[in-house]
Structure 1
Amino acid sequence: MNYPIPDSTQEIIALRQKPIDEELVARAIAGVVKIVRAQGQSLDELTAQVLAEDSVLDQQQRRWLSQVVAQAWKSFSESA
């Protein structure tokens, strides 16, 4: 199925109103990558943000998420 990838921070925030499932998480990650790339940030900058300490994810979860983000980044690079 094709789901629209969010083009703005507001669209990503609006995803909070939808039930959480794999497609929603994938759309959110793809949206973040799309927005960050459009802002001229690098994968290294985004990875540093993902790996930064927070109270939501533990270190192992942040590492896993950074790998998923890197895969999404690569997918965008290949499709461009």
Structure 2
Amino acid sequence: MNYPIPSSPQEMIALRQQPVSDELVATALAGVIKIARSRQQSLEDLKAEVLADDSVLNGEQRLWLSELVTQAWQFLP
């Protein structure tokens, strides 16, 4: 199943209605990057948000996700 890359927070929220799959996670990641760029955020800004302490991910998971965001940022147009 192909998902369009979200371009708004509302479209990101709508993804919650879909079953979780690798493709859905990749689409969500691409959407986060697309939205960040549309808001003129830098990669460093986005990484700071990912690395911010929260109750969802532990430090190791946030670091891994930050590295994934960096790789995706470089490959997405």
Pairing of 1:33-52 with structure 2 (within 5 A): 33-52=33-52
Structure 2 residue aligned with 1:66: 66
Structure 2 segments unaligned to the other structure (5+ residues): none
Q: CA offsets per residue over residues 24-71 of structure 1, 9 Å max, x none?
A: 111111000000011101000000000000000000000000011111
- Rounded to whole Å, the distance in 2 between the matches of 1:7 and 1:25 is 15
- Give the SS at the match of 1:4: coil
Structure 2 residue aligned with 1:8: 8
TM-score (norm 2): 0.93
Structure 2 residue aligned with 1:24: 24
* Deviation for aligned residue 1:19: 0.3
The residue type paired with residue 14 of structure 2 is A
Calculate the aligned-residue CA RMSD, in Å.
1.2
Percent identity between the two aligned chains: 61
- Rounded to whole Å, the distance in 1 between the matches of 2:47 and 2:32 is 12
Structure 1 segments unaligned to the other structure (5+ residues): none
* Deviation for aligned residue 1:72: 1.1
- Rounded to whole Å, the distance in 1 between the matches of 2:13 and 2:67 is 22
